[in-house]
Amino acid sequence: MTNENSTSQFKGKTAIISGSAEGIGLSIAKALGEQQMNVVLADIDDKNLQKARAELESLGVPVLAVSLDVADELQWQSVAQQTVARFGKVHMVVNNAGVGGDSGPIESQATEGWQWALDVNLMGVVYGAKVMVPLIKDHGEGGWIVNVASMAGMGGVPYSGAYNATKAAVVALSEAWAEELKVAGIHVAVLCPAFVQTRIYDSERNRPAQYKSKTLNPDEESSFSKKVREMVQNGIDVALVGKRVVEALIEGELYIFTHPNYRQVVQHRFARIDEAFVNASKSPLLQHIVDQKLEML
């Protein structure tokens, strides 16, 4: 339950959420609205965007709905201008918009599909931060950058190379930006959900023409996609995700997890990494640097 003190850090401030016409983005928008924030809904899906705007308005949330293709930096700049014109300042950007990308064996994945995932899942996050961070710095009140990655960014999932790679990149960016931006009072967090009841499996509906591609192994991709669809549909209630994000931001968490039962996946990965370091420390080739002083930037 939210108390008055926790609400006060958000009250009256403004958050921009990409991909917020539905799903995780809308869930986060609602949760931030409950914290008395001004909410800017930004999405490529205008029909559902207007439905989301009406829903938030009915809840008494100050809201602005703007069209946004996150892969277009100029559109991000337009969102920034519209937000400042309406609410005066930007305090938070939630880089949520994402696509599932092509699936299947690497040899069956067309370049266009990879480019789509890179432009939306990775560059969409980069543009969001690049455009909004200066606005947050300018008012000197601090703020937040919340990047939506995935548990797929914490470990590889076969047949989902583009999705894995882009989400892992978002995790790494978030870690780097957390150190870079803390001096400006900007808290960076990365959300890593597992399966949530959204339409991520149907992101093809928003694929622009320039990213259309042919699949060499449609039967295998169809089988994999069907499995993903089933797991997503059996995922956790999307409403929990927005509330979890607020909870984590209040506590100042960097990594925001929604599925504690996936802890063993991360532990297994890092156990293998640690074992690899042990192996390296035993190599005759590397003995001269085993005890060398660690230097970090």
Tell me which of 127, 159, 163, 211 is the catalytic residue.
163
Q: In what order do the strands lie in the sheet with 63-67?
A: 63-67, 38-43, 14-18, 92-95, 143-148, 186-192, 255-257
> Does 163 participate in catalysis according to the annotation?
yes
**Those residues with Cβ within 8 angstroms of residue 271's Cβ, 6 or more apart along the chain or in another chain:** none
**Token representation of residue 174:** 């978030």
Burial 39-51 (b: 16+ CB within 10 A, else e): bbbbbbbeebbee
Contact predicate 230/195, CB 8 Å? no
Which residues are catalytic, by number?
Answer: 163
